[in-house]
A and B are shown apart, each in its own frame.
Chain A
Amino acid sequence: MEVASLAQRVLEGERRALARAISLVEDGRARDAEILAALYPHTGNAHRVGVTGPPGCGKSTLVNALARTMRQRGLKLGIVAVDPTSPFTGGAILGDRIRMGDLVGDPGIFIRSMATRGSLGGLARATSGVIEVLDAAGFDVVIVETVGAGQSEVGIAQTVHTTIVIEVPGLGDDIQAIKAGILEVADVLVVNKADQPQAENTFRALRAMLDVGAPHSGAAGHHAPRAMLAGEDDGKGVEKLSDKGWKIPILKTIASEGQGVEALLDAVQAHRAYLVEGGRLAALARARVASELETLLREALLAELADSLGPQEIERTIDEVLARRLDPHSAVDGLVRLARRSRRGKGRRSRAGVQAQPAETD
C-alpha cells in the first residue's frame, strides 16, 4: 500500500489503516520513517500518560478503569500495552487485553499490544513512534503500559508527559531501593490493591519517602533529557521550572473495583494543567526534540564516519591503541581527520563524475 494514502486514511480515523501504520512503525524499516514523516505534522495534541510498576500490580486493570473514566469525561484514547519478549524464542504472550475486555467495542478507544522485541533503546523508539501514530489519528490521550523493570521506565518516561507509578501493599525494607527509581520517573504515585491489609502501611511509608524527596522532584525537570543541542540556557530554563516543584500526589486505588480512579484522573489532569501553565510543556517539548535530534545526529554522524573510514582503518587504530603506541584521544583525532580528508576526496571524484556525464544527473 502507498504510504501517502495509508497516512491519509490514518488521519481520517480509519482503524484498519491505523493498525497497519502501527505495524510499520513497530517494525522500524524504511517505510517507518516515511509514514512518520507523513503523520508528524498532525501530532502534538495528545496527552501522553505512562503507567508502570511491577508485574501483577494491577497496571492493566487500572488502565481499564482509567480508560472508562476518561470516556465518561468525553476523551478518546489510544492504549499501548507492552509485555516482554522471551529472550530465548523471540516470541511473546501479550495478555494485557484480558483485563481490558470492557473497552473493546468502543469506537473511542484503540488498544494495541506490543512486545519489547529487541533492545531497550529500540523499545523506547518503537513505542514513541507508535504513540506518534495514535496522536496523529486524533486521540486525546495515549496511555502506555510498561512493566517497571529498571531502565525501561526511564526510557518510556522520556516519551510521555505524565508517568503513573504503581506500587502494591507489602513494601517493606526495600523501600529505600525503590525510592530512587520512583523519584526518577513518577509524577503520580499509586498504591493499588488498597483492599489488602498492608495497604495503609505502604501508603504511609511512601508518603514519608516523598515528603523527604519532594523538593528535588518535579516533572519538567526530571523528565527533561539533558541535550547538548539545547544549549546552556534552555537546559537551565527547564531546570528552573522544576524548582517550583510538582508535589507528587500519592493515591490509593482498588483498580478491580474502580475505586479511587476518579481521583487518579483528577491528578493526571492537574499534572497536565501544571505542565501547560507557565510554558512548562513547551519547554519540555523543546528539550525533548533537542535530545532526540542529538541522538539521531550522533548515530548518523557515527555511521557516516565509519562508512568513510572503512573497517580496516578502525581495526588498525584499535591495534595501535592496544599496543600503547597511540592514546585514545589522539586516535580519535586522527580518525576524524582521516574521515574528513577521505570525504573531501570522494566529493571531488563525484563532482568530476557529474561533469563528465551530465545526462545521467537529474
Chain B
Amino acid sequence: MSDRIRVVIAKPGMDGHDRGAKIIARALRDAGMEVIYTGIFQTSESIVETVLQEDADVLGVSILSGTYEHYAKEIGGMLRENGLGDVLFLLGGTVSRQDVNRLKGYGVAEVFGAGAHTQDIVGYIREWAAAREKAG
C-alpha cells in the first residue's frame, strides 16, 4: 500500500453527468488524497482493471441512474475474483434505503446518498485507513 490514500473515482454506465463525481474528487484531493478520475461511461471490467493497475486503496463508484444493483454486484464480484477484496468499495448516488443491506452483501462497504456531505465521505475513508493501519 502507498503512503498516500489512493482513490479511484469511477462512473459506470450510459449516464453522462459527472458533476457529483467531480465534486467528490475535489473534496478528496483537498483532504490530501490522490484521486484517479476515470471519466464517464466506464464498464465494470475497466473500473476493476483501473483499481488493480493503480494499486488503489479505495474505489468510489458514482451512480445516478437506477442501475446500482447491477453494477454493485458485478464490480463487487470482480474485485474479489481479482484478489482486490481488501479495497474499500463505496457507492454514491440515489439509492433506496431498503436496498442498502443487499448492496453491502455484494461487497459495498458503505452507501452515500445524494444528500451526503463530502466531509462524511472524507471522514469515513480516513477512519477506515486509520483502522487498517492499526490492524497492520
Contacts and interface: CB of A to CB of B under 8 A. Distances in A.
Interface string B18-32: 000000011011111
A285 interface: no
A23 B53 contact: no
Interface in B104-119: none
Interface string A211-254: 00000000000000000000000000000000000000000000
A89 B54 CA distance: 21
Nearest to B39: A98
Contact of B49 (A95, A105, A112, A117): A105
A94 B45 contact: no
A26 B55 CA distance: 11
Nearest to A24: B2
Contact of B37 (A15, A22, A95): A95
Contacts of B36: 94, 97, 113
A contacts with B: majority SS = mixed
A313 interface: no
Interface residues of A, number: 28
Contacts of A105: 45-46, 49
A91 interface: yes
A97 B47 CA distance: 11
Contacts of B55: 19-20, 22-23
B35 A112 contact: no
B46 A94 contact: no
B35 A94 contact: yes
A98 B35 contact: no
Contact of B54 (A27, A86, A101, A113): A113
Given A91-B34, A93-B25, A104-B46, A19 B53 contact: yes
Interface string B68-107: 0000000000000011100000000000000000000000
Contact of A115 (B4, B25, B49, B82): B4
A23 B1 contact: yes
Contact of A97 (B25, B31, B50, B52): B50
A91 B38 contact: no
Given A23-B1, A113-B36, A91 B49 contact: no
Nearest to A21: B55
Interface of A: 15-16, 19-20, 22-23, 26-27, 85-86, 89-95, 97-98, 101, 104-105, 110-113, 115, 117
